[in-house]
Structure 1
């Protein structure tokens, strides 16, 4: 039975056009005083080289010592710009990874369609599942919803972000099918139906039918609004100069030296991955508090998280702390793995082998064979704290080896409700209108390494974490979720609604005025909550 469109197309929330947003003064301040000076380095260097070689009488040999030094620096910038362009061309090809496991993807897509089908109240789950460990949506079936069913309206409103927030009434079958084909097969849909294999067509037709039931809406024929095809769309990269990357590398190496000097950290490498680690000599693997694995997000690496790290190392001298150094999201262009991020299973395999080798969890429990007698084994796992993009790796670990994680703290998580599309649109497609949006767009979102990760290696099925995949999700001592109501990237109110509707109450810290990353700023309200939650483990181990 097909859905019928009985509701007025122009009265529902999903058909309200997104109002145009004006530029703010902060946008122009960031553009003039931050972006322009950095971006203009290469054009200025090129003009100086051209003036010296073709206009100035005597050319290079007529320059003084200072001018010759400037010329050499300008020449380095010009050569680097050509190299940067080469790297951009190298990674810009669409669809650099395959469709993955189609069966797994179908399961995940069906799971997201079930999200919200249980009609759970925002502040708790339904009475029928009150005593179950995993209440709500996973047990529901996808049934035909009425056009004006609140569940259908809400779903249509959330999905339209994949179409640049166009009114739902502007969507047509061809555009929606192209979007579905991309989500399933990570490829452009062939222009002719004859070019689609029978097996692919069967999967596509079934998924489309399920989607129409979930939306309670008959999608008209035609092309309609164009969908976002994240891994296929043109990769937008804004150039930055050699001096930027050099300065950032020098600063981060210096900060690494300071951590080593003042907090006894050391850098280790494991199967091609680099980490900062500190293991107190008095820590006992069987009786001591569980180690902390802190997974940072996109940005500037140590420079961006340095105050967080010194607070962690200074506050928790009684337990090991492990920090992955992720060059592909830290603008570390000089690192050999800068443009080669690991896929989900390979990454988790390497992390698991390191955690096991360190003796922080049992390899017998992980099904990896006999324990190495040279390492003590606690078998109790690690406490994982992730921020923003780091919640993707956090999600990967929980999906593959949930028993390795004893406690989880998600700060500004992007792994929840990512299937709705607003996160993708806000960070990578939405035109910048404020200073903070321009900072996120230029200094993070359009940086080559970050763009490569998000636009050419993004695997939405791996990156989407559902409630039932979180161990002890409703135990506030073992799971903490930190959200900011004014987050410019994450729709935190919707994430909060998703979590609370599944019975997560006490473990959520929600600051309605906090922005993305503000919870990790020293002196803010969120950071002491995180530190106290980490300290509270002492009551679990005594």
Structure 2
């Protein structure tokens, strides 16, 4: 992620204007040629390469973009709504973690005045959020009234009857907003993909491809990937792998975020794989790494995002192929933390997951409007916001994934889901997507009694004693234990958690005050803090 300086602002604006207007200019040029020269337009006036490119860009727009845009606007098939008791528990968890109800409502209603958010508007939002549908309340009206009444208590005043002009953000019901990408852009993506292939191969990773029959299922094409003889056991999911030979350490599974694939993480992965990281001089004591590729959020034209169950099943087959039933460290960044949330609740693989490292997590406190609003609805002002808006939010694959396959109540991650795992969460103080202050504050507090009871009722294989023990560990992290001097009142203020040393038990927070989303991967010093955590977890086989 770039910064917010004026130079970066003008740089990103020029890049966006240039890339976005390639197709319109090419179409206008082709139309002008036909209008002026008729059939003689087939004889070129500019160099052949230029006119060929213009024709290809025009054809790509009408033959690919236009039908693709229509295709991804189709309505999604929402998962079944949770049972009533599950909805009530989820609603209570959300309400228990809202500090500014008016700001919460206004942001979910796209900045509308609070007077325009009336009872029927709130019900419309709640139907999407907790019932996975739109339409009229119908038989669910009594339950909705309970939720509206609870919201009124949180708000501190009654919500007016009727319907106002406010429109809620309902991600999977609203239209899919996307912008055209030129052929030149996809050639750039293909070139970066080639650089990723070369760099990871140089650092000892092996690419595992899907079958030849799926060669044309992704654009830009990846011909160099078929130079490998390694096959993925999954139908859709490709990945990079480094063999695990250690008998005393845990291997690592890494899930990337929205972006141009694994390229922004190549330094991170190679340093994990270096003599200063997890590698030793003994070839029989090497730590294995699997880096999963999530193509629908990697600026490609490819298959739609897989369902939660399908993707978990494919990742499970990959992990079992290389690591068997051995425990592993699960590390993920941004959108990858959503997939981590699914894996933590996926019985065939959940028991194998050991320590967890979540970097710039979008899944924690997902009931707050910040992630959905900042990624999909915010009008960009600064350079980093324009970069996020054009290159990520408006990409067709990303937009389709978020608008048609991102069901927040499946993707949200609570502390109760982490209490059986040693966990490190990395947060940037300048994150333009995640409300990191709210996330850090939530993680730094002991698990609430309600959430502890919810965890106990949701887990049949764990005991309440285990939960209480984990709660004590989390509380011990908050108070820094009995082996350190008592802290002053100032040190125990709400900012104390930002400077808390990493301990490696319970839930740890790494706070990078000056970093934006994904910038932790940019510099060796900040990457090293993450690598040190993962290295310590790999050494810990308890």
Q: Which residue of 1 is the match for residue 309 of structure 2?
A: 345
Pick aligned residue for 1:301 from 252, 261, 264: 261
Tell me whether 1:272 sits opposite 2:235 in the alignment. yes
Distance between the aligned counterparts of 2:375 and 2:401, measured in 1?
Answer: 13
Q: Which residue of 2 is the match for residue 420 of structure 1?
A: 368
Distance between the aligned counterparts of 2:102 and 2:529, measured in 1?
Answer: 36
5+ residue gaps, structure 1, are 1-22, 118-136, 138-150, 191-195, 362-377
Q: Which residue of 1 is the match for residue 92 of structure 2?
A: 113
Distance between the aligned counterparts of 2:305 and 2:37, measured in 1?
Answer: 46
Q: After superposition, what is the alpha-carbon deviation per residue over 1:206-225, rounded to whole angstroms, capped at 9, x for unaligned?
A: 43344334444321113232
The 3 A distance-change label for structure 1 pair 497 and 273 is same
**Structure 1 residue 109, shift from structure 2 partner:** 5.6
**Structure 1 residue 27, shift from structure 2 partner:** 7.8
The 3 A distance-change label for structure 1 pair 26 and 168 is farther
The 3 A distance-change label for structure 1 pair 116 and 208 is closer
Give 1:385-400 correspondences, 5 Å limit.
385-400=331-346
Distance between the aligned counterparts of 1:188 and 1:111, measured in 2?
Answer: 19
CA RMSD, Structure 1 to Structure 2 (Å): 2.6
**Structure 1 residue 461, shift from structure 2 partner:** 0.9
Tell me whether 1:480 sits opposite 2:424 in the alignment. yes
Distance between the aligned counterparts of 2:146 and 2:25, measured in 1?
Answer: 56
Q: After superposition, what is the alpha-carbon deviation per residue over 1:170-206, rounded to whole angstroms, capped at 9, x for unaligned?
A: 421111111111113333323xxxxx542x3344334
Give 1:89-488 correspondences, 5 Å limit.
89-94=70-75, 96-103=76-83, 107=86, 110-115=89-94, 117=96, 154-190=100-136, 196-198=137-139, 200-224=140-164, 225-267=166-208, 268-280=231-243, 283-284=245-246, 287-314=247-274, 315-317=277-279, 318-333=286-301, 338-361=302-325, 378=326, 381-401=327-347, 402-472=350-420, 478-488=422-432
Q: Quick check: 1:182–1:189 contact (8 Å CA) kept in 2?
A: no
Distance between the aligned counterparts of 1:99 and 1:277, measured in 2?
Answer: 31
The 3 A distance-change label for structure 1 pair 438 and 109 is farther
Give 1:78-93 correspondences, 5 Å limit.
78-82=58-62, 83-93=64-74
Moved more, 311-320 or 31-40: 311-320
Q: Which residue of 2 is the match for residue 71 of structure 1?
A: 51
Q: After superposition, what is the alpha-carbon deviation per residue over 1:221-279, rounded to whole angstroms, capped at 9, x for unaligned?
A: 13232211111222211111012112312330342134224414232422213333334
Query: So what's the TM-score if we normalise by structure 1?
Result: 0.77
> Equivalent residue of 2:362, what SS?
coil
Distance between the aligned counterparts of 2:424 and 2:314, measured in 1?
Answer: 26
**Structure 1 residue 443, shift from structure 2 partner:** 0.4
> Equivalent residue of 1:413, what SS?
coil
**Structure 1 residue 56, shift from structure 2 partner:** 4.4
**Structure 1 residue 57, shift from structure 2 partner:** 8.0
Higher relative contact order (CA 8 A, sep 6+): 1
Q: Quick check: 2:297–2:401 contact (8 Å CA) kept in 1?
A: yes
Query: So what's the TM-score if we normalise by structure 2?
Result: 0.77
The 3 A distance-change label for structure 1 pair 341 and 32 is closer
Q: Quick check: 1:488–1:516 contact (8 Å CA) kept in 2?
A: yes
Q: Quick check: 1:291–1:321 contact (8 Å CA) kept in 2?
A: yes
The 3 A distance-change label for structure 1 pair 276 and 257 is farther
**Structure 1 residue 28, shift from structure 2 partner:** 5.4
Q: Quick check: 1:339–1:452 contact (8 Å CA) kept in 2?
A: no
Distance between the aligned counterparts of 1:512 and 1:259, measured in 2?
Answer: 30
Distance between the aligned counterparts of 2:119 and 2:14, measured in 1?
Answer: 46
Tell me whether 1:534 sits opposite 2:534 in the alignment. yes
Distance between the aligned counterparts of 1:538 and 1:305, measured in 2?
Answer: 19
The 3 A distance-change label for structure 1 pair 167 and 115 is same
Distance between the aligned counterparts of 2:334 and 2:88, measured in 1?
Answer: 23
Q: After superposition, what is the alpha-carbon deviation per residue over 1:269-317, rounded to whole angstroms, capped at 9, x for unaligned?
A: 2221333333437x14xx2311111110001113332222322333333
Aligned residues: 448
**Structure 1 residue 394, shift from structure 2 partner:** 0.6
Q: After superposition, what is the alpha-carbon deviation per residue over 1:91-135, rounded to whole angstroms, capped at 9, x for unaligned?
A: 1123x122423317x625633433574xxxxxxxxxxxxxxxxxx
**Structure 1 residue 52, shift from structure 2 partner:** 2.4
The 3 A distance-change label for structure 1 pair 278 and 24 is closer
The 3 A distance-change label for structure 1 pair 289 and 461 is same
The 3 A distance-change label for structure 1 pair 158 and 257 is same
The 3 A distance-change label for structure 1 pair 264 and 352 is closer
Distance between the aligned counterparts of 2:195 and 2:58, measured in 1?
Answer: 27
The 3 A distance-change label for structure 1 pair 174 and 112 is closer
Q: Quick check: 2:204–2:242 contact (8 Å CA) kept in 1?
A: no
Q: Quick check: 1:293–1:321 contact (8 Å CA) kept in 2?
A: yes
Q: After superposition, what is the alpha-carbon deviation per residue over 1:440-467, rounded to whole angstroms, capped at 9, x for unaligned?
A: 0000001000000011111111110011
**Structure 1 residue 346, shift from structure 2 partner:** 2.1
